[in-house]
């Protein structure tokens, strides 16, 4: 499982020109589920997402978590994070989990986040989504099975 985190001033996700969700300051998460991922991995990754200190305090540039700042999280499922581009020029998605097994893991990740983050929004699993964001910093981090 991979999570690409971006600290944002704001972010939103739309499907077919209909806005599904929007957040103010917080974290935008692009979440990719790979074959072999488990609920335990999703739990650890969600807890790391909530507790990662990527927001400034008065004394340090990266000292507070999204929980500490009462920030929001927008989770967008993105199977392309499982792409293998090591051979040729066309990405291979053989490492991506089947949608029927990936969607419950995305849902589990979101539910674990909701236990500690005040506001968690999502995109629509499997949809062609348009994501808008204002990256703050910029701060972008890739988390893998932590």
Domain annotation covers residue 61: yes
How much is the pTM?
Answer: 0.95
Q: Give residue-wise pLDDT tens across range 18-74.
A: 999 999 999 999 999 999 999 999 999 999 999 999 999 999 999 999 999 999 999
Beta-bridge mates of residue 29:
5, 75
| Residue ranges making up the domain that contains 41 | 2-132
Domain annotation covers residue 50: yes
Q: Give residue-wise pLDDT tens across range 73-107.
A: 999 999 999 999 999 999 999 999 999 999 999 99
Check if 140 is active-site. no
Domain annotation covers residue 42: yes
Give the pLDDT of residue 17.
Answer: 94
Domain annotation covers residue 46: yes
Domain annotation covers residue 55: yes
Check if 6 is active-site. no
Domain annotation covers residue 70: yes
* Euclidean distance between CA atoms 129 and 136, whole angstroms: 21
Beta carbons of 110 and 122 less than 8 angstroms apart:
yes
Give the pLDDT of residue 145.
Answer: 75
- Catalytic hit among 78, 122, 125, 145: 78
Total number of domains in the chain: 1
Domain annotation covers residue 138: no
Domain annotation covers residue 44: yes
- Catalytic hit among 43, 79, 93, 125: 79
CATH of the domain at 65: 3.50.80.10
For residue 146, pLDDT over 70 is answered with no
* Euclidean distance between CA atoms 140 and 74, whole angstroms: 14
Q: What is the per-residue burial (b if ≥16 Cβ within 10 Å, else e) of 99-111?
A: eeebeebbebbbe
Check if 80 is active-site. yes
């Amino acid at each position: 499982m991979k999570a690409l985190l971006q600290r944002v001033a704001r972010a939103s996700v739309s499907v077919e020109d209909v806005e599904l969700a929007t957040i103010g300051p917080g974290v935008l998460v692009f979440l990719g589920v790979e074959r072999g991922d488990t609920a335990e991995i999703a739990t650890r990754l969600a807890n790391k997402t909530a507790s990662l200190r990527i927001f400034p305090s008065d004394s340090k540039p990266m000292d507070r978590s999204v929980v500490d700042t009462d920030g929001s999280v927008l989770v967008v499922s993105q199977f392309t994070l499982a792409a293998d581009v090591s051979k040729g020029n066309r990405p291979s998605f053989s490492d991506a989990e089947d949608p029927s097994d990936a969607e419950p893991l995305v849902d589990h990740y979101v539910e674990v986040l909701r236990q500690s983050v005040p506001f968690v929004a999502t995109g629509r699993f499997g949809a062609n989504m348009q994501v808008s964001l204002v990256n703050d910093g910029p701060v972008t981090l890739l988390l893998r099975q932590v």
